[in-house]
Amino acid sequence: MRSLANRLALIFFLITLGAMTIVYVGVVPHLESSLVSDRSDRLGRAADRTTPPIARAIDSNAPVAEVDRLVRSAADQANARVTLLGVNRGSFGTQPFVKSDSNANADIRDLEFPAVEAAIQSGRPERATESGRDGRVVELALPLFFRDAAGHRLLGSVAVYSAPLEDVQANVELVRTRILIAGLLALAAAVLAGFLVAQSLGRRVGRLEQVARRVSTGDFSARFPIDRDDELGRLAAALDAMQRQLAELDTARRRFIATASHELRTPIFSLGGFLELLEDEDLDEETRTRFMDQLHQQVDRLGKLTTDLLDLSRLDAGAIELRTDETDISHLAETVAAEFVPALGAHESELALALGDDPIVASCDRERVAQVLRILLDNALAHTPVGTDLQLSAGRENGRVRLAVTDAGLGIPRGDLRRVFEPFYTSDGRRGSGLGLAIASELAERMGGRLTAESIPGRTTFTLAIPG
């Protein structure tokens, strides 16, 4: 039963079997009693119409021939056998005897008329069924009363209406047979339909499994088949989207490994070379000082790369905590801009501040906003030619605080603009690890804001928007 097709076929079989069992148990046992009750009711209605003439004939001491005629007439009208029994009362109790019978040529000694005794005892019409030589019959016994000379009402006779139940049993057997045949056909159809549906589902699942195995081995060219708009089709679409993301992530991972290897190899080789040179005892002090400055720069470069990697991993793990307080955004922007005075001088660039005259206060994490600004300014200096001027602006718009860093560099190609916030991606493919903007974008989202980029040749603007 490990096969999906077999399990679904079994489920269809059990459901259909359960439904047929419910129908059989709910219909067949009650069908016979309902048909017998219906036949008895029809006898009762016929007896109500035909018994009064017989009772009047007995009460008036009509000749036997007249009573026999009335009994046969009642049988014809009721389409049943009518037997008139007299009642003897003696020392041995009440003893019924046959006075007249509509079926004079038939022997009635095989019938005991159980309804008669009950009718004599209760004085009311009684019903019963019994089996004779010709099969089961339903009986209705009606007590007939007369008045004696003193005017007392006495039971003198009992009229018994009886009808065979062969047609009832035949109908019940027919219904039972039809239900069983229909049930067997339904079970066969359910098993076949379940097997065919399961085979179709199994083939579709098998195709998904084959593609998944190819993807698991690193073959990201495989595509999940999206053949229908149902649950499996939507699953295939989700898996295909996941496969594309994995492919992009794998490409980014490979690019990052190449970039990180290059970024790490250069300072490590430089450190090794400078250390070898510093081991030379004949090195003059000026050269030693210059080499030491280079060592510090390479160490700072390594430190920044490892810090970016740590920040990105902490963001992915959700380990970054935000501390919100009231912050003067204008003062914060001025503070961060002051930190870049040496870097701006080395880059031969100027940074213009457009912060407005009114204070801009926002409830935010001061350190994280400052970190985003540092990343944007550092990115602008790293990816623009020497002498490119920058602008840092701040303002409030539509209930949100906006901080923007604009440079007058060459711009970002349109095809690269939508990917600048992806981890490990760099538009020039060489400079930087591609982590700074990814970290800045993630921090902006954690603060309930958004980081966007706009670029045309000669002007590129990165804008941080946070709740005000």
Of residues 301 and 188, more confidently modeled: 188
* Token pair recorded at residue 60: 């008036």
pLDDT in tens, 136-172: 888 899 998 877 667 677 778 889 998 888 877 777 7
**325-467 CATH, one of 3.30.565.10, 3.20.20.70, 2.60.40.10, 3.20.190.10:** 3.30.565.10
User: What average pLDDT does this structure show over 331-360?
Assistant: 90
**231-316 CATH, one of 3.40.190.10, 3.40.50.720, 3.40.50.80, 1.10.287.130:** 1.10.287.130
CA 117 to centroid of chain Cα atoms = 66
HSE on the CB side for 205, CA within 13 Å? 10
pTM of the model: 0.44
pLDDT cut 70: percent of the chain above it: 85
**pLDDT for the residue 430:** 47
The model's confidence at residue 261, banded by pLDDT at 50, 70 and 90, is: low
* Token pair recorded at residue 57: 């004939």
**SS3 readout for 232-274:** HHHHHHHHHHHHHHHHHHHHHHHHHHHHHHHHHHHHHHHHHHH
pLDDT in tens, 41-82: 888 899 989 999 988 888 888 898 998 899 899 989 988 889
pLDDT in tens, 435-454: 788 888 888 888 889 999 99
Cβ neighbours for 439, distance < 8 A, ≥ 6 positions apart = 308, 311, 312, 315, 371, 375
Q: Which of the residue ranges 43-52, 198-207, 317-326 has the most confident prediction, judged by mean pLDDT? A: 43-52
How does DSSP classify residue 321?
Answer: P
Report the alpha-carbon angle 32-35-37, nearest 5: 105
pLDDT cut 90: percent of the chain above it: 17
User: What average pLDDT does this structure show over 125-137?
Assistant: 83
**pLDDT for the residue 318:** 59
Question: Which of 10-24, 30-44, 84-98, 416-430 is predicted with the least confidence, judged by mean pLDDT?
Answer: 416-430
Domain assignments of the chain as residue spans, ordered by start: 4-171, 231-316, 325-467
**pLDDT for the residue 235:** 82
**pLDDT for the residue 349:** 92
- Cβ neighbours around 175 below 10 Å, total: 16
pLDDT score of 373 more than 70: yes
Q: Which of the residue ranges 18-22, 231-235, 303-307, 404-408 has the most confident prediction, judged by mean pLDDT? A: 404-408
* Token pair recorded at residue 49: 């119409």
CATH class entry, domain 4-171: alpha beta
pLDDT in tens, 416-432: 887 888 766 666 554 55
